[in-house]
Amino acid sequence: NAGVTQTPKFQVLKTGQSMTLQCAQDMNHEYMSWYRQDPGMGLRLIHYSVGAGITDQGEVPNGYNVSRSTTEDFPLRLLSAAPSQTSVYFCASSPGDGSYEQYFGPGTRLTVT
Amino acid sequence: QQQVKQSPQSLIVQKGGISIINCAYENTAFDYFPWYQQFPGKGPALLIAIRPDVSEKKEGRFTISFNKSAKQFSLHIMDSQPGDSATYFCAASQPSGNTPLVFGKGTRLSVIA
- Which residue of chain B is at minimal alpha-carbon distance from A40? B105
pLDDT at residue B87 tops 80: yes
**Pairwise CA distance, residues B58 & B63, whole Å:** 4
**Does residue B97 carry a pLDDT above 70?**
no
Tell me: the pLDDT tens digits for B15-48?
999 999 999 999 999 999 999 999 999 999 999 9
Q: Is the distance from CB of A55 to CB of A66 less than 8 angstroms?
A: yes
Report pLDDT for A97: 66
- ∠ CA A40-A45-A48, nearest 5°, is 165
Contacts of A33 in chain B (CB under 8 A): 100
Q: Do A94 and B93 touch (CB under 8 A)?
A: no
Looking at residue A98, what is its pLDDT? 62
Q: By a Cβ cutoff of 8 Å, what residues of chain B touch chain A?
A: 6, 9, 32, 34, 36, 41-46, 49, 89, 93, 96-98, 100-106
B1, pLDDT greater than 60: no
Beta-carbon contacts of A39 under 8 Å, excluding residues fewer than 6 positions away, are: none
* Whole-Å CA distances, B111 to A3, A6, A67, A100: 30, 30, 42, 30
Question: Of A102, A31, A88, which is closest to residue B42 (Cα–Cα)?
Answer: A88
| B106 to A7, A36, A78, A102, B58: CA distances (angstroms) | 25, 13, 26, 17, 21
The answer to whether the Cβ–Cβ distance between B43 and A45 falls below 8 Å is: no
Instruction: Give how far A59 is from chain B: nearest CA, Å.
Output: 10
What was the pLDDT predicted at B72? 97
Cα end-to-end distance, chain B, whole Å: 38
Spatial CA neighbour of B44 closest among A47, A57, A33: A33
pLDDT band at B96 (very low <50, low <70, confident <90, very high): low
Q: How far is B113 from chain A (nearest CA, A)?
A: 26
